[in-house]
Structure 1
Amino acid sequence: MESVHVRWRPAPAVRPYADFYTGYAQRGLPPGRHRGLPSPYLTLVITLDAPLRIVAHPDPAARPGLYDTVIGGLHTTPAIIEQSGDAAGIQVALSPLGARALLGLPAGALAGADLDGADVLGPFAAELRERAALAADWPARFRVVDELLTRRADPELAPAPEVAFAWRRLCASGGAVSPAELAGETGWSARYLARRFGVEIGLAPKVAARVTRFDRARRLLIGSGGGYPLAELAIACGYYDQAHLTREFAALAGLPPGRWWAAEFRNVQSPVDLAGADSAL
């Protein structure tokens, strides 16, 4: 029984659009379900063997399906992925600010949706999957993703500087900055900022702050090996108290923190970080 997660930092040419890649491989695990949680990233998943089976999308009207590649926008409810126990792939964490450059459309067009990669990227999706699957090891696979995303990126396609500033400010604060503060710092009205956020990011500033705060709490919990005291975690991430944190986990993850941890990490090894060996393209 094996479960491996490998982290990689993208090439410099890709970093304005993607923060990190995660390779995953599992063999011989019991079948189960994984929650694709809300986060400040759009997600591009490239499978390396069996297709990804999504049994419930953030959009409840979307039908279950199998995907060789899938692109997911920002969302506020989890996607439910059925795992057979044997799977491998690469997950690319895309900044919504890079959606136009890499995907050819704003992040708002993908909000709350999981789409077949071919429907968004055309034949490029199949090329990405085929070449990554043929690579010999994780570094080689990640370099394939670097090469192809670098080739595809169009740096001329970018959101307004005010949107980029507000998004980075919100993420850097861990979701602590208010929409009014963001509007004041950009010089836009709160209403206009919310409208532009809806197009370029896919969530209103207040909702984006909520998702960003949740993502920070989740990552701190993972980094602690599940041992971060929840009352302290709540304070560190700007929640009113532990009860507030628990309610947000239940709303955004579908489970309170302890049950989510037990469900997701009972068979998962600690991630291997290959950032020190990343590509120098």
Structure 2
Amino acid sequence: MTRHAVPYVGTLSAYELGRRVHRGLPSSTISITIPEADPVEIAWLGRPGPPGRFHAAVAGLHLDAAELRQEGYGRGVWVTLSPLGAAALLGVPAAELSGRVVELADVAPALADLPERLAGRRSWPERRALVEDALLAGWARHEARAGDRDLRVVLAALSGTDRVRETAGLLGCSRRYLSATVRAALGVTPKEYQRLVRFEAARGRLVAAARSGAVSLAEVAATAGFADQAHFTREWRAMTGCTPVEWLRTEGPSA
């Protein structure tokens, strides 16, 4: 049977943490982490309080880094959704998840038994199909909202420039209206969303450079829209708690 891509899904893959700590980086997407067996522990870096334990974790857009630990085999399924996917597939607006990690069962009760059902699937094709079917069922329950198309245009425009005022001009609206719209939908400001998009562009280029064996931080900084290498390194450290070189050394291109 031919399977169809699930709308709003960017990534759907298996993961393996081993026994080490994984650093979860800032993200402009919604992520769902479903451990294979033991719960995953997630602690925000720089925030007070003990780590949370999750049978299946949903993380909203966030500008902070987090540490993930999982006992045992440290394996599971990892899914990323576009911001619009939170409402369309899970039934909760992205703004309600912003800066938070919550149990999947708390935001999408219909998916409460997904971790248990995944544990009964032994092959990756079976596990992937189960997650796809569960998300498609969510899409059937939560039809895309009428404003999704407009918000998609807004996010595309924000991704194309570093200046909020310029984006507002392109969209033919005031900066104040743009800010209110984005904050209400995503839980972050337009500038924060642009900051996340630029960070993710730099991360992608950094990983690609590491895989090719020729890492030039100056080139990564320039192509990702930073003023220079120093600006890029300061921003990376502020958002992750480490330098780009330290992250590559501990996480590697496989991250």
TM-score, normalised by the number of residues in structure 1: 0.81
Give the Cα–Cα distance (whole angstroms) in 2 for the partners of residues 84 and 234 of structure 1.
Answer: 36
- Is 1:53 aligned to 2:41, yes or no? yes
> Which one has the bigger helix percentage?
2
Aligned residues: 249
Please name the residue that 1:250 is paired with. Answer: 237
Please name the residue that 1:199 is paired with. Answer: 184
Q: CA deviation at 1:140?
A: 1.8
What whole-Å deviation, never above 9, does each CA across 1:182-201 have from its counterpart, x for those lacking one?
21222221111111111212
Higher relative contact order (CA 8 A, sep 6+): 1
Structure 1 stretches of at least 4 aligned residues deviating more than 4 Å after TM superposition: none
Judging changes above 3 Å, is the alpha-carbon distance between structure 1 residues 44 and 169 closer, same or farther for their aligned structure 2 residues? Answer: same
2:221 to 221, 234, 239: 234
Is the Cα contact below 8 Å between 1:132 and 1:142 reproduced in 2? no
Judging changes above 3 Å, is the alpha-carbon distance between structure 1 residues 83 and 69 closer, same or farther for their aligned structure 2 residues? Answer: closer
| Superposition CA RMSD, Å | 2.2
- Report 1:11-50 matches (<5 A): 11-12=4-5, 14-15=6-7, 17-26=8-17, 29=18, 31-50=19-38
Is the Cα contact below 8 Å between 1:52 and 1:68 reproduced in 2? yes
Please name the residue that 2:122 is paired with. Answer: 136
Give the Cα–Cα distance (whole angstroms) in 1 for the partners of residues 150 and 169 of structure 2.
Answer: 11
Residue identity over aligned pairs, in percent, reads 35
Judging changes above 3 Å, is the alpha-carbon distance between structure 1 residues 94 and 58 closer, same or farther for their aligned structure 2 residues? Answer: farther
Give the Cα–Cα distance (whole angstroms) in 1 for the partners of residues 192 and 14 of structure 2.
Answer: 29
Structure 1 unaligned segments of length 5 or more: list them: 1-9, 272-281
Give the Cα–Cα distance (whole angstroms) in 2 for the partners of residues 250 and 59 of structure 1.
Answer: 12
Judging changes above 3 Å, is the alpha-carbon distance between structure 1 residues 134 and 224 closer, same or farther for their aligned structure 2 residues? Answer: farther
- Is 1:92 aligned to 2:92, yes or no? no
Is the Cα contact below 8 Å between 2:39 and 2:70 reproduced in 1? no
Q: CA deviation at 1:202?
A: 2.1
Give the Cα–Cα distance (whole angstroms) in 2 for the partners of residues 136 and 42 of structure 1.
Answer: 26
What whole-Å deviation, never above 9, does each CA across 1:62-95 have from its counterpart, x for those lacking one?
6422111011111111111124462111111111
Q: CA deviation at 1:177?
A: 4.0
- Report 1:114-263 matches (<5 A): 114-122=101-109, 124-153=110-139, 154-157=142-145, 159-171=147-159, 173=160, 176-225=161-210, 227-263=214-250
Give the Cα–Cα distance (whole angstroms) in 2 for the partners of residues 158 and 262 of structure 1.
Answer: 45
TM-score, normalised by the number of residues in structure 2: 0.89
Please name the residue that 2:88 is paired with. Answer: 101
